[in-house]
Chain A
């Protein structure tokens, strides 16, 4: 094979991938547009949103709690190690709290919920697609966007900040337990550290990020579920894509939001 043909096939491959990615961005944007249109026109079906809030939010709480308590615990161990002989340990509570409410709480919760909920939404909608249930829904005049997509995306957007609040509290508690029992910080010192350096803008920026992450998780799960083709293999592929794209987008948006929030809006 000549160099020219290798370059040509490489270029064609690259162009194909870029075109595919652009087509996918276009499809997600169209779905999002439809979603907003149907939400504004008829409002989300309240009963379905509440059902999904229960599935997405309450159903994820146990897993998020486990992840958060150990995140706080690890943060305490790491902080104690890095503070050694450099920073007084009285600051350990404030460092753990701020790193949890700004970053670790929203991001780790989003990654955990993205894995659990994104996969479950994509698998459920994907199975409905390949078994013609989505077609059946349209055939009887029920709009799948209003009935299936809007409730899931709205519920994920509402519930992620709620779960993040729990994750923050449990994470700070996990840090407290380790700091008091194995690092040698007194209970009062830890709590004072929390109070002295608590800023509402830190909490609000973390929760704002959680709102965006919830929206991403719901949208990606629904998009890849609705785009499922083929049988069981197609459902598996859709599930994987939903989880991977949710996680990658969460991390990208985390950086973008951090830049906007802490360099522009809350810049001192």
Chain B
């Protein structure tokens, strides 16, 4: 379980996170919705300890990670996988080396076992014969799938997805949505999906939370999200420029 309480973060003059309270139950997939620039990606980076919080707590299975040193955070991070918005594959490595990187860093496995795991995870995300390819030679959708293979190679308890379908065509978006669902079923993971793609959100989410101006302004099931009268959610769902959400 991940429990975020009173999380605040100021970047420059802007209060990006202004008292976030959010709880993600074990095995649940929570979609964090919100317009661009509302701090969704910043929230994910705080959960992984990639950015230090100004105030508040982030409990991962009861352990507060705010204020932990890099060594302690690395132990926590081993339980997480993250799919970055642009996949963030290492340019200098092949796809196989990218997927193998966490295994080589943390586990002393024989090379044959590493290769087996890399092959298996790439197979899970529907990629074949790309182990020796460089990330630059892959399409956007393939890079995202390779990024997901790297995120799941250590059998994480938690997977964080940052805009997993952004920049993809509808078919590739659906492939990613299906993968998010299948990871939940196959690995039983707890997931947080940050997106502003409503189609994707309703396809993968067990629960929705809406972020605006650094606060959670709504939280509910997909059904509640569809029927709520919350003005922020309504404006976002309707794609209207008129309402409480001010375009950035």
Contacts and interface: CB of A to CB of B under 8 A. Distances in A.
- A and B part of one assembly: yes
Interface of A: 127-128, 131-133, 135-143
A135 B84 contact: yes
Interface residues of B, number: 22
A112 to B, nearest CB: 24
B90 A136 contact: yes
B70 interface: yes
Nearest to A140: B102
Interface string B31-67: 0000000000000010010100000000000000000
Nearest to A142: B105
A67 B89 CA distance: 38
A227 to B, nearest CB: 15
Which of A128, A136, A140, A142 has most B Cβ within 10 Å? Answer: A140
Nearest to A138: B50
Given A133-B91, A135-B84, A140-B150, 18 more contacts: A131-B88, A131-B91, A132-B85, A132-B86, A133-B89, A133-B90, A135-B45, A136-B84, A136-B88, A138-B48, A139-B50, A139-B77, A139-B80, A139-B82, A141-B105, A142-B102, A143-B70, A143-B74
Interface in B80-113: 80, 82, 84-86, 88-91, 101-102, 105-106
A61 to B, nearest CB: 22
B101 A142 contact: yes
27 contacts: A131-B86, A131-B88, A132-B85, A132-B88, A133-B91, A135-B45, A135-B50, A135-B84, A135-B88, A136-B82, A136-B84, A136-B88, A136-B89, A137-B90, A138-B77, A139-B48, A139-B77, A139-B80, A139-B82, A139-B84, A140-B77, A140-B102, A140-B105, A141-B106, A142-B101, A142-B102, A143-B74
Interface of B: 45, 48, 50, 70, 74, 77-78, 80, 82, 84-86, 88-91, 101-102, 105-106, 150, 154
A81 to B, nearest CB: 49
Nearest to A135: B50
Nearest to B74: A141
Contacts of B150: 140
Contacts of A139: 48, 50, 77, 80, 82, 84
A136 B105 CA distance: 13
The 3 closest A-B pairs by CB, nearest first: A136-B88, A132-B88, A140-B102
A133 B50 CA distance: 12
A124 to B, nearest CB: 8
A135 to B, nearest CB: 5
Given A135-B45, A135-B50, A141 B78 contact: yes
B231 to A, nearest CB: 33
Nearest to A132: B88
A148 to B, nearest CB: 10
B80 to A, nearest CB: 7
Nearest to A133: B88
A30 to B, nearest CB: 13
A49 B89 CA distance: 22
A141 B49 CA distance: 11
Nearest to B104: A142
B102 A141 contact: yes
Contacts of B90: 128, 133, 136-137
Contacts of B50: 135, 138-139
Given A139-B77, A141-B77, A141-B105, A128 B48 contact: no
A143 B78 CA distance: 13
A140 B101 contact: yes
A45 B203 CA distance: 44
B23 to A, nearest CB: 22
Contacts of B78: 141
